[in-house]
Amino acid sequence: VSAPTEHPSEVGVVSLLDWVCAKRSSAQANRLDQLVHALNEIVAEGALPAF
């Protein structure tokens, strides 16, 4: 699986979330979770194409 930065995709996002869960860093996990939700809202509004 390629790095998420090379090929943005659902697989990359899932791998990133798995990594965050493994890290158990609540502060970073919360920030990334907020980022994911924000990106999902932007995509839902049609401002950006879905990956």
Q: Which residue has the higher pLDDT, 49 or 31?
A: 31
pLDDT score of 48 = 66
| Cβ–Cβ < 8 Å for 11, 1 | yes
| Cβ–Cβ < 8 Å for 12, 4 | yes
pLDDT tens-digit map of 1-48: 444 454 445 566 677 777 767 766 677 778 888 888 898 888 888 876
pLDDT score of 3 = 47
> Distance (Å, rounded) from C-alpha 46 to C-alpha 19?
28
What angle (nearest 5°) sits at the alpha carbon of residue 40, between those of residues 12 and 44? 130
pTM attached to this predicted model: 0.42
